[in-house]
Structure 1
Amino acid sequence: MNEEIAVQADTWYRKAEQKAVQYLASLQKRVMEQTDLQTLTNDFQWWKKGHVHHFWRSLLPRSSKSADTLGYHRYISWLNRTGKLEDYLDRSISYIYMRDLGKALDSPDTQVRIKQTMSDVKKLLLRSTDAASGDQPDFMNLAGLYRWSQKESIEDAVIWLIDKLNQVASHIPKGMNAEHAQRKLMKIIIGVVLHVMDDMDDNTLSDERSRRLDEAIRLGYSYGLTYPFIDDLLDSEILNAREKEQYSQMIRSALLTGSVPKPGKWNEKHTDFIHYVYAELRDAFEYIKSYQRPEAINTFFEQSYVFFHAQDLDRVKNLNNSTYTNEELYLPVILKSSSSRLIVRSVISADEDEGFEQRTFYYGIYNQLADDFADIFEDMKTGAVTPYTYYLKYRGQRAELINPYELYWTVISYLIDNVYHSNAKAREVILNRAINGLKRCKNRLGKEKYTEIMDIFATGNPEFNRLVQRMVEQADDVDFLDKLLRDQVVTALRNSRKEKESFIDTIHSVRDQLNAQLQIRKSGEISTVTESLIDAANYSLQGDGKRLRPILTWAMGVNEYGLPAAAIMPLLKSLEYMHTASLIFDDLPSQDNASTRRGQPTLHQIHDSATAELTGLYLIQKAVEEQSSLSEFDAASVLALIRYSSQKAGEICMGQAMDLEARGKALTLEQLNTICFYKTGAAFEACLVMPAILAQVPETEIASLKKYAYHAGIAFQIKDDLLDSEGETSLLGKPVHQDVENNNSTFVTLLGHEGARRAMWEHYCLAMETLNELPRSNVFLKQILNYMVSREK
């Protein structure tokens, strides 16, 4: 880095630091003089009237009504039923306007916007609660997200985002908190979208609104990547000290020169991961840079550098160093917490908002001090230097150290009086948030640990602390929606990861069990011809098949209906025999004329077409034989299953016949959907319905399973068409671009790539929404649908 650039970097940081020095000095003076305690005491005496019951009521047993005890949907319903939802949303939305959007609550325009946002959010929450089938809000799942994108006409941006988030999730290495990394990324995306939505009004044309929201999503992702792949990565132990320095220099150089340098050489262990991260960050950096207005680009680079450098200064601190000054401890905290919010306005090139920069600058440290207080014990374990951990360790040796808990309340008083000019609404919201934070901390740490912290930090004014602790113990109605959603997102991500791991474990386990029994045995003395036919069948069965159909049947039969695993093994084998037979016929020269299947040469290439045809017929008969051996089930149910199976086999043949007839012809979407169902959807349906028949479930449930299978089958086929158009033979295990070469109508040729993706997600949503009709959780069906639309082969 040349000297001129280094001087520029120093100038940027020193300019920001000077302002932080003045702010810290004023705060330190107020802490020492305790000028804010009486004002805060008066504020609390006013505030508690709306949050603390009369004395006699406080003596009665208190019912615990919270999202933790009731669950998300019941909690929202309880708030609405008791008339608390309006106030809950008022303080929650007001807080977001203050913290994230930097608004002053005494602005009439801001109040109008808050009321409108409250109305919209209330409708969304109640609609989600009314339609609830589980405890996860519908707007937190992919189907809900895509439905929102349709209303805003930004489907392509959301599909792009879903793909990006899936890639990020799959690349977060062990050693990083995956759920929190993803949550912070999502939070930034939502924050950028909120900024853009706030800049628009009812006069914004729909096309303009869609364009700006599309850009906001891409900008939010681009900026949000800095959290998992810069902050969290450098805070983790994934990289060694030399690699962290190399990585930091790469980021620093990009911010100061406006150009991302090449990644250089890395430890072989990290090469693939770093190259992925590098490519994503480079594209994100270029996208943000290209979006900036010429007059705003310097602000973006300046604020970004201040943020990164402040983070870097904090990151390299060592808790064993006993000489850090108050300025060294607090200035980076002030700068990184304020600049992180200033960057968002810069990222979207928003117009200047009078007072925004001042409010945002003074607000930042408040959130950081609150977060560090909640994380104090975790930070002590890892040796992280925060104002709290440092004070905890050196308070007995360093009398001049600022007590961060006392500073926290000083910042609150400063915000109420100096930044928001004693506005009653701002005071209400800020004190709500402060007490809510202490309540959450107490619940998280437990009474003993919480008391231990308070005995250390809250000693400066016992009377004020007793007042605060009474509020923590007695005050009600201080919960916030963003905290609820934060917990829900983390829980949803954690549950999704566990469900996905269970899904993968089930696939591997059942596949291994099935593969062990799938090969057809040669019994007694058999003719050479028979032996050859069995060998041909076993050759087709031994390929690298996904076995999704029998695995799906196992999951439904065993997990959902409680059928004995050993008893339904013949059914699993029959499904794979029938599926393999259909692939043999599809691959024949007279039909698809495929050269490879499941990563190996097709059967007719190893033998000949006649052998392939006979092998297919042989496997179909073996399938019927297996179904007839389901001896542990009701005979009438087995007979119904065989009859149903024969019907589905006939429909699959019809679908293939339709497909052959349609070769080289232009089809309508309706015709394509029909062929797709008969070729693919019918087989999916059979996997779901057959175990349901054995379990003798009601016809209404079977009807819902069929509806799910219809949409899932089409979504699966659309993904197949997209992979054929875009995939690689090495990944798919079969030739690609076959449909185009054969001039066949597919969802891609009919709708184009973007149209096909939209159609796939529409059928995904319809399938997911159908699951809400079923009386079971059906986690496996959700996971297999997610797999269908995200798979790479």
Structure 2
Amino acid sequence: MNDLNVIDANRCYMEAEKKAMQYYSSLQAQIDEQLYIQTLTEDIQSWKKNHVHSGVLSLIKRKQDPRNKLNYKQYINWLEHKGKLRNYLERSVSYIFLRDLGRTLNSIDTQQRIQTIVNNLIKQMKNPNERNDEFVEMFSYKGMYRKAQEEKVEATMIWLFDKLHLVTKNLPEEMDALNARRKLIKIIAGVMMHVNEEMNDSYNEQERAKKFEEAIRLGYSYGLTYPFIDDLLDSNVLDSDEKVRYSNLIRETLITGEVPDFGVWHGKNGALMEYIHDELSEAFLYLKNYQKEQSKFYEQSFVFFHSQEVDRSKDLSYSQYTNEELFIPVILKSSSSRLIARTMVNVDEDEGFEERTFYYGIYNQLADDFADMFQDEKDGVVTPYTYFLKYHRTRKDLMNPFEMYWTVIFNLIHNVYHSDEKTREIIFDRAINGLKRFKEKHGNETFKKIMNLFSLRNGKFQKLIEQMVNKADDVDFYDKLLRDQMLASFKKEKEEHEEFSQTIKEVQQKINDHLKIDSDSDIIVKESVIDAANYSLDSGGKRLRPIMTWFMGVKVYGLNESNLFPLLKSLEYMHTASLIFDDLPSQDNASTRRGHPTVHQMYNVATAELAGLFLTQKAFEEQASMEHFDSKSVLKLIKYAAKMTAEMCQGQAMDLASKGKSLSLEELNTISLYKTGLGFEASLVMPAILAQANEEEITSLKKFSKHAGIAFQIKDDLLDVEGDSTLLGKRIGIDVLNNNSTFVSILGIEGAKKEMWNHYCIAIESVEKIPRNISFLKHFLNYIVHRNK
């Protein structure tokens, strides 16, 4: 062993491989002897009493099962109505204790803890104040931040938001960003659960917060290996030489305990790999420094990585792999991945934890491989299932992985968990549920073909299993429901975001095409007011306000786009006028705006003032031209616009009066409302007025605008400290230079970020009860907090 190495890689892998070989041999012997069949048959006969109802009652129950037709909340309500909710949650939580925590279910302490968790879940689910999709949204930014506030870990959650945003942004299109995000959140939640289970009432608020902060960072650091190592190496993003180099970097890190120099990465993936190397280096150092027993952590990590590499190197076209070569890496990677998670959090292990976890892993892996076999086959991935699919006719010596699966189940129930009745119940529930989900996904005919192909030696037992799949109920699990809902939610969110982004580009272009003001005068002036106005309009801009109005008017209220364009133009004219005034020497005295000289620099102060006044009046002219809408509504809109203009002037006066003064947080919030929030409000309320929306809805939109505006201003203040001047189109640090009070100067960077995310949540909550599809407002808020300019 090299003195520089922290582990003897060959030794630790050989020891693990030897143990896996012994496990495999014992399973093979049980398969050969078929002694498990009789015992499992008796187990299922006993188990099915609570899951299979005979005759007409069974048929009625299956016809009444609505799980495929109901959304999350409806299904939970149906379970409650049928008296099934408690059992549903009990088996779900029990399964987590078995799989993730390595507990035994015959422990009184474990059962008490499970009941406490179930009671808390039921209490939350029955809370009338909870929104219909509250549990689904627990993995949204709002849901996660609100939970972080409860546990006093807001700063760490904001850190995680930034990390998740960058991971999603940097993942190549060939990789599944949605699943990567789901896996990361799932692993973080799992580590937090590990930590939570180790804490008791003796932990005070600060100690509890510290533990959860560590858990979030640990979960992210460990979870990052899945998209950035496993998924990346499984994909075709890297070529063969790049994969070899990358694997060698990871191997050296695990063996030496030090991250090697990255060097130069040639080719199209250079920027991607530099980002990944930086992120993984940071993650590895955090994990390394947290470990009490570093060598144990490195050994488990190496076994996991190397067994994955052994599996990854297999070629489905090669027909001579032995059963041992197919199953040993599966045993190793499935057990070591869970042992790492437990080792990583530095908690005391229950007696027998390591043995239980080692034997349990393959049960989950075989179930997952069964569920994914068609996709794996399509991708050319070698698993026991894909290999059996391809060679079962020509290789009579091949071990049937479905037979192995049921042998593992027998071994777990009777040899690992010593015939514990609760454990038997949960393992059978999970096994039958997995088969039912496969059947629902692929259809009855495909399921029959697969069952025939993977048929067990004992036909009677095979038939019994298939009967359970067809007849058994009450075997579904909460984690699967959440998984499905998370993926559906993330997919919907992605589709909405793509539509939102594309629509913004299209609407932005339409608005730009209509903004130019034609001269209606025969008098030609070199530095005309109209030229100055057009110069300001042409200097770029995000067009946020008219875009918001377009979304609200066209998408939410169904107003005619062409009829709405005068309003869109008027909003941008008003906003541009306010910027011209802001930049004047008498106010902010700015020399550049959007990377261009300001109007008074390009022309002169008098022309700039006149251009601003001209644009304001032009805005009212456009609003008055909306002849296709109800005249009373248009009049109400113009009156509202005039009031907003006056109030925004007051806000600018307040802002100017505050220069160089020390302000309170309340005063900053008020200025932000007037400077930004009212502009957002006008953009949303004006189309609502034209659509004759009720006052309750308009009040909700006003509240949203207020908090979105404050969040926007906080982000501006943060960008003035942390932003990139090239992207911003202006210098950073201006507020500090001018001694202006900002959210950052009052609260600090961390405090300002907390305040921004709190206003984000309030804004989301303010419009959640509006009975319309206002998803674009959520994406608008996401843009506000994640923008870099």
TMscore range, shorter length: over 0.9
Paired residue type of 1:232:
D
The separation in 1 between residues aligned to 2:765 and 2:61, in whole angstroms, is 42
Query: 2:416 aligned with 1:419, yes or no?
Result: yes
Residue 211 of structure 1: how far off its partner (Å): 0.4
Residue among 694, 697, 704 paired with 1:698: 694
2:325 is aligned with 1:334: no
> Bigger CA drift: 679-688 or 518-527?
518-527
Counterpart residue identity of residue 519, structure 1: K
Give the 5 Å matches for 1:82-121.
82-121=82-121
Deviation at 1:675, TM superposition (A): 1.1
> Is contact 2:388-2:400 (8 Å) kept?
yes
CA pair 134-190 structure 1, distance change in 2 beyond 3 A: closer
User: Residue 23 of structure 2 aligns to which amino acid in structure 1?
Assistant: Y
Is 1:236 aligned with 2:235?
yes
The question of 1:446 aligning with 2:450 is answered no
Q: Is the Cα–Cα contact under 8 Å of residues 719 and 788 in structure 1 kept in the other structure?
A: yes
Q: Counterparts in 2 of 1:101-180, with a 5 A limit?
A: 101-127=101-127, 131-132=130-131, 137-180=136-179
CA shift in 2, pair 1:779/1:340, >3 Å = same
* Partner in structure 1 of residue 680 of structure 2: 684
Distance change in 2, residues 1:234/1:3 (3 Å)? farther
Question: Secondary structure of the residue that 1:399 maps to in structure 2?
Answer: coil
Unaligned runs of 5+ in 1: none
Distance in 1, matches of 2:261 and 2:66, equals: 50
- 1:529-678 matches, cutoff 5 A: 532-678=528-674
**What's the CA shift for 1:62?**
3.0
CA distance in structure 2 between the partners assigned to 1:499 and 1:44 by the alignment: 46
- Cα 1:187/1:7, change in 2 over 3 Å: closer
Query: What does 1:56-455 align with in structure 2 at a 5 Å threshold?
Result: 56-60=56-60, 62-127=62-127, 131-132=130-131, 137-293=136-292, 296-455=293-452
Q: Which amino acid aligns with 1:101?
A: L
The CA deviation string for residues 693-717 of structure 1, in whole angstroms up to 9 with x for no partner, is 1111111111111111111111111
Q: CA deviation at 1:7?
A: 8.6
Task: Give 4+ residue runs of structure 1 displaced > 4 Å after superposition.
Answer: 1-7, 133-136
Structure 2's unaligned 5+ residue stretches are none
> For the residues of structure 1 that align with 2:260 and 2:55, how far apart are their CA atoms?
65
Partner of 2:488: 491
Structure 2 distance, partners of 1:133, 1:4, is 56
- The answer on whether the counterparts of 2:728 and 2:788 sit within 8 Å (CA) in structure 1 is yes
Offset of 1:452 from its aligned partner?
A: 1.0
Q: CA deviation at 1:455?
A: 0.7
Q: CA deviation at 1:58?
A: 2.5
Structure 1 residues 240 and 92, CA, compared in 2 at 3 Å: closer, same or farther?
same
The letter for the 1-side match of 2:619 is A
Deviations 1:124-148 (A, max 9, x none): 3334x85335587231221111111
C-alpha separation in 1, matches of 2:238 and 2:501: 29
Distance 2:243 2:498 in 1: 31
Name the counterpart of 1:474.
471
CA distance in 2, matches of 1:397, 1:6: 45
Distance 2:197 2:762 in 1: 31
Alpha carbons of 1:66 and 1:237: their partners in 2 closer, same or farther (altered >3 Å)? farther
Matched, 1:719 2:719: no
455-464 or 242-251, which moves further after superposition? 455-464
Q: Any conservation in 2 of the 1:136–1:488 contact (CA below 8 Å)?
A: no
Determine helix, strand or coil for the equivalent of 2:63. Answer: coil
Corresponding residue for residue 24 of structure 2:
24
- Structure 1 residues 130 and 777: CA distance shift in structure 2, 3 A: farther
Partner deviation per Cα, 1:274-315 (whole Å, 9 max, x = no partner): 11111110000001111111xx11011000000000000000
CA contact (8 A) 2:7 2:295 kept: no
Q: 1:742 aligns with which of 738, 741, 760?
A: 738
Deviation at 1:68, TM superposition (A): 2.8
Cα pair 2:339 2:354 within 8 Å, conserved: yes
TM-score by length of 1: 0.98
Q: Are 2:6 and 2:257, in contact at CA under 8 Å, matched by a contact in 1?
A: no
Q: Check whether the contact 2:402–2:456 (CA below 8 A) recurs between aligned residues.
A: no
1:5: Cα distance to partner?
Answer: 4.8
- Matched AA of 2:667: Q
Alpha-carbon distance in 1 for matches of 2:329, 2:93:
29
Q: Distance in 1 between matches of 2:3 and 2:396?
A: 40
Query: Per the alignment, in what secondary structure is the counterpart of residue 525 of structure 1?
Result: coil
SS of equivalent to 1:188:
helix
Hey, what's the Cα distance between the residues in 1 that align with 2:251 and 2:289?
Answer: 19
Give the counterpart letter for 2:621 in structure 1.
E
Which one-letter code corresponds to 2:713 in the other structure?
A: Q
Structure 2 CA distance, aligned partners of 1:274 and 1:66? 46
Is 2:136–2:486's contact at 8 Å kept on the other side of the alignment? Answer: no
Contact 1:73–1:132, Cα closer than 8 Å, also in 2: no
Amino acid at match of 1:713: G
The whole-number CA distance in structure 1 between the counterparts of 2:410 and 2:289 is: 41
Q: 1:283 to 1:4 in 2, by over 3 A?
A: closer
SS at match of 2:69: helix
Change (3 A) 1:66 1:791: farther
Contact kept in structure 2, 1:596 and 1:735, CA below 8 Å: no
The one-letter amino acid paired with 2:150 is K
Contact 1:71–1:135 at 8 Å: present in 2 too?
no
Any idea what SS the aligned residue of 2:479 has? Answer: helix
- Structure 1: how far apart are the matches of 2:308 and 2:604? 67
Letter in 2 for 1:165: L
Partner of 2:12: 12
Distance 1:342 1:67 in 2: 34
Displacement of 1:544 in angstroms is 2.3
In structure 2, relative to structure 1, the CA distance for the partners of 1:85 and 1:240 (3 Å cut) is same
Change (3 A) 1:549 1:333: same
CA contact (8 A) 1:65 1:75 kept: no
Shift of 1:334: 0.3
Give how far 1:506 is off.
1.2
Name 1:522's counterpart in structure 2.
519
Letter in 1 for 2:110: T
1:783 to 779, 785, 788: 779
Instruction: Figure out how many residues of one structure are paired with residues of the other and give that number.
Output: 789
SS in 2 for 1:408: helix
**SS across alignment from 1:69:** coil
Counterpart-to-counterpart distance in 2, 1:610 and 1:64: 76
- Structure 2 SS opposite 1:592: coil
Retained in 2: the 8 A contact 1:594–1:735?
no
Structure 2 counterpart of 1:763, from 741, 755, 759? 759
Question: Given that residues 304 and 343 in structure 1 are in contact (C-alpha distance below 8 angstroms), is that contact kept between their aligned partners in structure 2?
Answer: yes
Contact conserved, 1:133 with 1:772, CA < 8 A, in 2?
no
